[in-house]
Structure 1
Amino acid sequence: MLKTIEVESDDWRRGQSTAGHWRCTRRPDAMVEVEYQLHLEPNGEVPSWLANSVVVDAPYQTLLRLRAEIMKPENAPATYQWLREKP
């Protein structure tokens, strides 16, 4: 569960707005094409090293965790409504 922080602080920045999506499409070669798009409006300046780490590391780590969940034996026979055939 995420902790909600109500008090403003100089130690962190709260984004003004966030919008994004993940699109997972099954390919004919039994692979999955994943598109991740995110738009953030930070409230103030964000150091480039931090922005770059979020852009690169967060989606990659999320996909690794998603793959680990999908590969668990109890999920093997599952079908996923969010995984659709490519039009």
Structure 2
Amino acid sequence: MHKKYLLYLMLFFLYKASYGQADWTLKSTKNGLHIYTKTVSSSGLKGIRVKCTLPAKLSQIVALIMDVNAGEEWVYGTKSSFLLKRVSSSELYYYSEVDIPWPINNRDFIAHLTVSQDPQTKVVTINGPTEANYLPAKPPIVRVSHSIGKWVLTPAKNNLVQIDYTLEVDPGGTIPVWLVNLFATSGPAETFKKMKEQVKKPQYVNANLSFIDNG
């Protein structure tokens, strides 16, 4: 049960826009994964930042992140994840329910993902704020009312992509702040480990996205 608690926060594909590097404190470096935290509210909640490099094309990683129906396969603890509305090839809304062990109620969220790419640098940005009122809440599931963030994907030499992921989330309800902060520092490793394997699947390797220039 405790392991699931530790990994809970990584279920949200929603993350705070990057703060200045000086504000972040490095908490863990292992297997090429660098995890930072910072305090983002007076209550003591922490934001997280994860940096790593993957051998992949930009289109591979974007295709994976935008394939929201596959979230259960690699985002640890996801009970359900499915598309609500595809606005365009680079914009969508999706729903996800997070499976939290008893006695804490499950959480759910609606995310609005948008993808953009700088035509000069080829850097891809994926923003994903929550839209809490997009659908009615479904008690006893607790709706996540606030979560905003960003993926920044930077192409590098030798067919590598540098990932900079940042997240600030208020899970709502009665989860103790110390437990949320524990998730923030311990959760990312499991999901990013699975991400490295998931992105190798043919549907992502062979993805051809008209709005992404691999450079």
**TM-score greater than 0.5 by the shorter chain:** yes
1:24 aligned to 2:156? no
Structure showing the higher helix proportion among its residues: 1
Kept in 2, the 8 Å contact 1:26–1:33? The answer is yes
Equivalent-residue separation in structure 2 for 1:72 and 1:46 (angstroms): 37
Superimposed CA distance per residue, residues 29-83 of structure 1 (whole angstroms, 9 cap, x where no aligned partner): 4332111111123435524134222x23443323222221222355444456668
TM-score (ref. length: structure 2): 0.29
- Uncovered stretches (5+) of structure 2, i.e. residues with no partner: 1-79, 81-95, 98-107, 109-136
TM-score (ref. length: structure 1): 0.56
Kept in 2, the 8 Å contact 1:25–1:34? The answer is yes
Cα offset, 1:17, TM superposition: 0.8
Is the alpha carbon distance of 1:79 and 1:63 closer, same or farther for their aligned partners in structure 2, counting shifts above 3 Å? farther
Q: Aligned residue for 2:182? A: 52
**Percentage of pairs with the same residue:** 16
Q: CA RMSD in A?
A: 3.4
- Uncovered stretches (5+) of structure 1, i.e. residues with no partner: none
Structure showing the higher strand proportion among its residues: 2
Q: Which structure would you say has the larger Rg?
A: 1
The match for 1:62 among 191, 194, 205 is 191
